[in-house]
Amino acid sequence: MFFSSGFRIMSTVSMEPLLHHSVRESVRYALKSRIFKPSSWSCSTNHKLVFHARSFCNFRSSNVHALRASTTTDTDLVETLESTDIFFKETFPLKRMETVEGKIFIRLDHGQNNGNWQLTVGCNLPGKWILHWGISRVKYVGSEWDQPPEEMRPRGSIPIKDYAIETPLKKSSSSEGDALHEVKIDLIPTSAIAAINFVLKDEETGAWYQHRGRDFKVPLADYLLDDGNLVAAKRSFGVWPGALGPLSNLLIKAEVSPANDSESSNESREAKKKGRSLEGFYEEQPIAKQVAFDNSVTVSVRKCPETAKNLLYVETDLPGDVFIHWGVCRDDTKTWEIPDAPHPPETISFRDKALQTRLQPKEIGDGCCGLFTIEEGLQGFLFVLKLNKGTWLNCMGNDFYIPLSRSSSLLAKSRQGLSGSAQILEKNAEEKEEASLSAYTSGIINNIRSLVSDISSEKTRKNKSKEAQESILQEIEKLAAEAYSIFRSSIPTFLEEPIVDTEEPIAPAKISSGTGTGFEILCQGFNWESHKSGRWYMELKERASELSSLGFTVIWLPPPTESISPEGYMPRDLYNLNSRYGNVDQLKEVVKTFHEVGIKTLGDAVLNHRCAHYQNQNGVWNIFGGHIKWDDRAVVADDPHFQGKGNKSSGDNFHAAPNIDHSQDFVRKDLREWLCWLRKEIGYDGWRLDFVRGFWGGYVKDYLEASAPLFAVGEYWDSLSYTYGEMDHNQDGHRQRIIDWINATNGTAAAFDVTTKGILHSALERCEYWRLSDQKGKPPGVVGWWPSRAVTFIENHDTGSTQGHWRFPGGKEMQGYTYILTHPGTPTVFYDHIFSHYRSEIAALISVRNRNEIHCRSTVKITKAERDVYAAIVGEKVAMKIGPGHYEPSGPQRWSLAAEGKDYKVWETS
């Protein structure tokens, strides 16, 4: 048993999240339709809950008319209610947020094999928890992370760059029935690992949880000094004051003698290394998160036949003390007025403008209720609810309005039949805003319709060039992206891009910024070891003509700047272009050579982070030199390793270097100028953008609009969805996050289709080719939703090469290339595969793609997606199949075999 109690509701947060993102709410706890704001709550009968920062009632007049509201005993009212007919009854759903307290627990004990140890990390709060973790090696015990050995990685783990692993926590149960989420990591004490570092991520809210603003560190060696984030401070370690203070600390090894401080201080680190031994422990760390709970309030109104008064009954299942803040109105203006005494029990006046009554606990069942009698001649009953913690609940940002006459009730019901209870509200500022937005979006739609009519008309097809038609198509895409950005703020959906398949698609001369021609075939022109030659640019130059003859139109070059790491992904002086790949003159020469053979070049721009030149007064590396001199204001405030003074990050932090704060005007200005300088000085045609998950896509839009690339693609790397270590069939959430980023750039950049790569992994490795069709019969990756912004790939320098962080299933690479080179999207081929035994097969597939003019928006008709075979017809000219199962294309076309290999075939029309 890991702990003795489940989670409980609390009033204060004991642990702050590391990051506060633009949060995607979970369907389980909160609806996705709007962004939650903590100042007030809303509800409606159509289940679209909106949270607005508005006043809790609408006072329009300072004149208070004395109205009479009489009360009787509960028994009398109940008897009266039972004897009369209801002319109004409505149940309003309520959504409330509570801070729920739970525990993160960390346990080290012997695993199933007593020769090894096992680290368990868990949480007892609801959520979709991910352990983001890495190791510190014995020789390097600083803040740097490294990835653990393969044998330590639990099933379902996903590598993050080259420094961390993300492992989903699995659901389990304690002996007392508490729901747990936990992950178990098998440790190898002999493997020179000094510590396990981790943070806990809740994918439902996007929040990261640390310990005191630092990463958790579980020591596996007894000579580590406590830097404030150690857990399991053993009693025998005199150099440790105890990382977690008064937390429960249950050492499994019961008797440990205290260390002699003087001896400990004199003992060398090497001696301690030799004598180190693991001890079991169990510790708990308090954690809290906001969780949404569903409740409701029901209001019914009857007419008393004896007195002709209105009898109004309010009941709710809200827990705790609930106050109803109420008044009445005479007409449609809904001006609050106070009825004259007597009032229900426990009623007080609120600023002489409203009454506040404590609802009474129900005698049967949970919740509370209240009974009111209202005089004749009044049109409506107005109210909001107040919880005991000062939380107000209203209706769609307005007061609840209950009609007090049959005619007004019928009018309200007719309005509700059209669009829910929101129609009982009068026109307000929100409706005006929505009307304005509707008119604006209608204008966009009309423009799109006009452009579509233009491009599809017979006259246009005859008289307009293909370049002009492509320009119109790109204008449609821009308008669609703008419309999508509006609707995305209120509707959790995706943009299903309209496919316009021209009869003879020829690459236009005019190219829209960032989006390319649609016919790009991309080559990644390096691997993880390329820097070691010292003359990589010259080696690429020698192969420029060869790559052009194979059919490539774009080459992605390695990071050009001076870098702490030889591969180039830890840049320091951005204007210093003398790197391990060659000097600045060689870079200019290779770009010029590729242009001469008709290949565009992409620069690898690392914008998320930058390595500092100097330490600040506290010894933290966050002062930058070189051409762009920044201080710690350029570093985000929630990067715990580098203590910036900027604003909080707009994305995920990269642990190894200072994360740049792109919200700073001076930062964006300098980066815009740098990118424009690279375009002019070096001749880059576009960008591959590294680790774009670290900052908001809107900043990317700014940089791309300034530098005007012909093509741009972002590396938005995110974990796919797994359940108990098994990849989920539905990966809509994963590709939606990538599309959200693309949309934040206003569609000016594409993104690597990590979703498609992950699904191909599972489909090919497990012979589950049915995974390659989503629930609507479309490709299941980004290419199925927004193909012109999907850059497909099966391997790159991170996943393959000598790193091998997420290597494609061995021996099945050509099936992967058959898929991406015959499907829409922009395919990317890895350098290692081009110059290998796959070369001729890849060349044949590229030839088929070019010969049949497959482009990024080509149509796909999936004809088979079964256990052992996947088949599709693309653009009505190409048929393909992968997998060991049988498939032959049929139909009126005459098909001829164009390419064939192990478990794949491609046909084209004769």
User: What is the per-residue burial (b if ≥16 Cβ within 10 Å, else e) of 232-250?
Assistant: bbbbebbbbeebbeeeebe
Q: Which residues are paired to 329 by β-bridges? A: 380
What whole-number distance in Å separates Cα of residue 225 and Cα of residue 640? 18
Q: Residues with Cβ < 8 Å from 545, sequence gap 6 or more?
A: 597
DSSP bridge partners of 604: 688
Structure tokens that stand for 734 in this block: 């994963």
Catalytic residue among 204, 222, 638, 715: 715
Active site (annotated) includes residue 690 = yes
Q: With contact defined as beta carbons under 8 Å apart, do 455 and 472 qualify?
A: yes
Q: Which DSSP letter does residue 895 get?
A: E
Helix, strand, coil percentages for the chain (3-state, nearest 5):
25, 25, 50
Query: What one-character DSSP code corresponds to residue 18?
Result: S
Written as one string, the DSSP assignment of 133-179 is EEEEETTB-SS--BPPPGGGSPTT-EEETTTEEEEEPEEEE-TT--E
Q: Which residue from 866, 894, 895 is spatially nearest to 882, judged by alpha carbons?
A: 866
What does residue 139 show for φ and ψ, rounded to 5 degrees? Answer: -80, -20
878 touches 860 (CB < 8 A): no
Helix (H, G, I), strand (E, B) or coil at 447: helix
Helix 697-707 × helix 665-681 angle, to 10°: 40
Angle at 647 between CA 644 and CA 651, to 5 degrees: 95
The tokens for 805 are 């962080």
Helix ranges (DSSP H) in 732-838: 732-744, 754-765, 813-822, 831-834
Contact 519, 711 (CB under 8 A): no
| Pairwise CA distance, residues 738 & 782, whole Å | 8
Strands 600-605, 522-524: pairing is: unpaired
Provide φ and ψ at 181, rounded to 5°: -125, 125
Q: Which of 477, 690, 753, 774 is catalytic?
A: 690
Q: Which of 610, 647, 648 is nearest to 630 (CA)?
A: 610
Q: What's the Cα-to-Cα distance from 235 to each of 197, 286, 336, 367, rounded to whole Å?
A: 21, 21, 66, 49
Token reading at 190: 């002999």
Residue corresponding to tokens 């109690």: 5
Query: Is 776 buried (19+), middle (13-18) or exposed (0-12) by CB count in 10 A?
Result: exposed
Kind and range of the H or E run holding 477: helix 466-488
CA distance 110 to 115: 8
Question: For residue 793, which of 715, 696, 725 has the smallest C-alpha distance?
Answer: 715
Under DSSP, the state recorded for 211 is B
Judged by phi (left if over 0) then psi (alpha if -120 to 50, else beta), residue 134 lies in beta
| Neighbouring residues of 829: CB distance < 8 A, sequence distance ≥ 6 | 521, 522, 523, 524, 552, 793, 817, 821, 842, 846
Cβ-contact 218, 211 below 8 angstroms: no
Q: Which two tokens stand for residue 804?
A: 């091998």
Q: Other C-beta atoms within 10 Å of 542: how many?
A: 10
State the amino acid at position 904 in one-letter form: Y
Q: What is the DSSP letter of 363?
A: S
Helices (H) then strands (E): counts for the chain? 17, 40
For the question of residue 98 being annotated catalytic, the response is: no
Give the E-state strand segments of 380-519 in sequence order.
Answer: 380-387, 392-393, 400-403
Beta-bridge partners for 231: none
Q: Locate 542 and state its tokens.
A: 């020698």
The residues that are catalytic are 690, 715
